[in-house]
Chains A and B, each alone.
Chain A
Amino acid sequence: MPPRTQGARVTRTPASRRTVRHRLAADAGLLVVAAAFVLPLAWVVLSSLDPRADLRVKLPDGLTLDNFDAVLTPDITFTPLLNSLLLCGGGTTLTVACAALAAYPLSRFRSRLNRPFLLTILFATSLPITAIMVPVYALFVQVNLIDTMQGTIFFFTASQLPFAIWLMKNFMDGVPKELEEAAWTDGASSFQSLVRIVLPLMGPGVAVVTVFSFVMMWGNFFVPFMLLLTPDQMPAAVSINEFFGNRGTVVYGQLAAFSVIYSTPVILLYVGVARRLGGGFALGGAVKG
């Protein structure tokens, strides 16, 4: 072997060895943190399959689906999940439709009002919604929207809209204007060009807004907890608390099984969107503005 190559190898080895060492150290560090994070998750999965589940993480005393069987009743699972679906589906549809419409002029036309409007929207994205729930309750009592699905859907939509408009506008800015101009010369209205050209081109962006809105509403506890009163209308977020929190003895295996059922849709949705956008979720960048 010629000496030059050997020399090169000698200088490269310590550096690459250091990289490997660094990588191993980083891997080890990450695994330690992950171990702490995974414990509560492991509890819920293992307990849901355990015939004698208690509060600590342990290997099941045998696998069973009895817990799932016990909670898959109209009272415990189907009605609350259907309510959740109605609330979040309705809210998300309304949010995405309103946000897409609103984002269009903000993204396409220059106007003096755009900047103040967007700043207000951005300001509203970070307001603590929890803080206005008491006045919303008082207001809803006066206008007879309390304990109604539509009232809750409207409030969900309004609370999610600022962020949805902001995200939607940013995604829409990425669609080149030239394509629409061609459509305009062919006599298409701006509504037609929004629906036929812009939205299809920003499919992944619309998907992100939809999934994000849905996930936020699905997991929200405080809004339905305050605005809905009748047990029949309660979404899963609230009913889980009523069923398991207020009863004397808690069957932990069933609680875990219900948690798994209730959480699965949002995890699947998240995975779907994250994969489509290539691993990293665009949210980190979107939030940065």
Chain B
Amino acid sequence: MSPRSSTRSLTRALPRVLPLTPAVILLLLFLAGPIAYCAYIAFTDLQLTGQAEDSFIGFENFRTAFGDEAFLNAVWLTLVFTVISALLGQNTLGLALAALMQRASKPIRTLVGGIVVTAWVLPEVVAGFLLYAFFRREGTLNAILDWFHLPTQNWLYTLPILAVSFANVWRGTAFSMLVYSAALNEIPKEITEAAEVDGAGGWRRMWHITLPMIRRSIGTNLMLITLQTLSVFGLIWVMTRGGPGGKSQTLPLFMYEEAFQKSMIGYGTAVALLLLVVGSLFSVLYLRLLRTEV
């Protein structure tokens, strides 16, 4: 290659590569770096204090984890939290709201949409405080139950995982609602009308026409809300701190407690790595879903 043509290819390549560099450098240093570091210290016994050198201990952290009652409890609670709040709660309620909004009158639609989206836009900690107040013994929920002469209880103490799950439904439903509203708007009017003329009732139309037509949005939505729910920390931290007695301690809270309150950074990171691996699997699934869509 003559020097001239190589300068030319350089001047051609430069505007293509140069603009990417700031973003790529930041992503490598602050995102890829920590992930790689995560994969490394998960196999060490790094501690927060009082240790000169950390040493490589192989799969010891993972072996500890799977024999650790508290870890298994956290896995189970994460599963419960994800299924109740994301798959059942946010997803179903979001779809129901989007479907109702298709038929509702405009002022009601705007009002309800505004309320649900406000819950979503609020900072996580504020949402946590609001729901804490709602579920406390002296809170609004018990006041309502009392009014109907139903038994009341201290929800954050007796059923903390249920309380934080409902809190996550309250906070996250808007996302599913927006995704499904967009999907439902894309269904051609003629199709639903034709089905209506053929005498298909509301539920049958939903089951046989609407749901199959938006199945890709359903897949994408389930994937994304699962990922969001897996990484919820602040909401639960504010409401219960994972307590009482670990009864609402999902994996992120468990990870935090092991790493900082018990100073076992290595062990905490091993848990983080497991969370990251589960997240990556979902992420890859999400990419595959998108690819079939494009």
Chain A interface residues toward B at CB < 8 A = 22-23, 25-27, 29-31, 33-34, 37-41, 43-44, 47, 54-57, 94, 97-99, 101-102, 104-106, 109, 111, 117, 119, 122-124, 126-139, 154-155, 157-159, 161-162, 165, 189-191, 194, 215, 218-222, 225, 236-238, 240-241, 244-245, 252, 255, 259, 262-263, 266-267, 270, 274, 279-281, 283-285, 287-289
Interfacial chain B residues near A241, Cβ < 8 Å: 125, 237-238
Q: CB distance B124 to A237 under 8 Å? A: yes
Q: CB distance B22 to A126 under 8 Å? A: no
Q: CB distance B16 to A29 under 8 Å? A: no
Cα–Cα distance between A94 and B183 once the two chains are bound (Å): 33
**B250 smallest CB distance to A (angstroms):** 10
Which residue of chain B lies nearest to A39 when distances are taken between CB atoms in the complex? B140
B149 interface contact, C-beta 8 A? no
Q: CB distance A126 to B282 under 8 Å? A: yes
Cα–Cα distance between A267 and B127 once the two chains are bound (Å): 13
Q: CB distance A158 to B30 under 8 Å? A: yes
Cα–Cα distance between A262 and B121 once the two chains are bound (Å): 12
Q: CB distance B121 to A122 under 8 Å? A: no
B27, B38, B134, B136 interface centre (most CB from chain A within 10 Å) = B27
Q: CB distance B23 to A33 under 8 Å? A: no
Number of A-B contacts (CB under 8 A): 283
B58-66, B68-76, B101-109 - interface stretch: B101-109
Q: CB distance A221 to B123 under 8 Å? A: yes
**Which of B16, B123, B256, B269 meets A237, CB within 8 Å?**
B123
Cα–Cα distance between A56 and B145 once the two chains are bound (Å): 12
* Residues of A contacting B: mostly: helix
Q: CB within 8 Å of A: which of B111-149?
A: 111-112, 115-119, 121-127, 129-131, 133-134, 136, 138-140, 142-143
Known contacts A131-B276, A259-B126; A158/B231 CB under 8 A: no
Q: CB distance A55 to B268 under 8 Å? A: no
Which residue of chain A lies nearest to B284 when distances are taken between CB atoms in the complex? A123
Cα–Cα distance between A41 and B294 once the two chains are bound (Å): 40
Cα–Cα distance between A37 and B94 once the two chains are bound (Å): 13
Q: CB distance A109 to B16 under 8 Å? A: yes
Q: CB within 8 Å of A: which of B222-244?
A: 223-224, 227, 230-234, 237-238
B111, B130, B139 interface centre (most CB from chain A within 10 Å) = B130
Q: CB distance A30 to B255 under 8 Å? A: no
Which residue of chain B lies nearest to A109 when distances are taken between CB atoms in the complex? B16
Interfacial chain B residues near A285, Cβ < 8 Å: 182
Known contacts A37-B115, A123-B287, A288-B179; A105/B134 CB under 8 A: no
**Which of A124, A262, A283 meets B31, CB within 8 Å?**
A124
Q: CB distance B143 to A56 under 8 Å? A: yes
Q: CB within 8 Å of A: which of B127-175?
A: 127, 129-131, 133-134, 136, 138-140, 142-143, 170
Q: CB distance A266 to B178 under 8 Å? A: no
Interfacial chain A residues near B130, Cβ < 8 Å: 40-41, 43-44, 259
**B197 smallest CB distance to A (angstroms):** 10
Interfacial chain B residues near A218, Cβ < 8 Å: 123
Q: CB distance A98 to B37 under 8 Å? A: no
Cα–Cα distance between A54 and B140 once the two chains are bound (Å): 10
Q: CB within 8 Å of A: which of B4-32?
A: 15-17, 19-20, 22-24, 26-27, 29-31
Q: CB distance A126 to B27 under 8 Å? A: no
Q: CB distance A101 to B23 under 8 Å? A: yes
